[in-house]
Structure 1
Amino acid sequence: MPISLTQIKQTPYPHQYIPYAENNIWYDTVSQLAQNRVANQQDWTNLLSLFKLEEYVNSPVYELKP
């Protein structure tokens, strides 16, 4: 079943990345985790570990604009 706005709204704020991840919408998954990385520290660490980027767990995150 595709992700719905209702599904996202029903998910508690710091965990709204979960419906995106479950639907393979990775840009929004990473964006949500980055914005809430303090509340989701373990999930943020796990995500960065997948790409061997553990050294950046506590680094600031910046939005790149063209």
Structure 2
Amino acid sequence: MKNSNETIKVTPNYSKRTFTIRKYIDGKLFAKYRTIEMSQEEFDSEEMNTDDDWKQFLKSDDYYQV
């Protein structure tokens, strides 16, 4: 069984205070998500997230698939 290479790319939208999260498996786009609008304080805090933080975030209900 081959191990897949999973990566996450996150792009902030400063005016809407949301993030677009793209999940890639073996370099191919697998899924695209968008967070719900956040408060300024929450948005600033989430900007410091690591890939592991975003993987954990995707276990919540604070986003939707685009």
Normalised by the length of structure 2, the TM-score is: 0.26
In terms of fraction of residues, the more helix-rich structure is: 1
In terms of fraction of residues, the more strand-rich structure is: 2
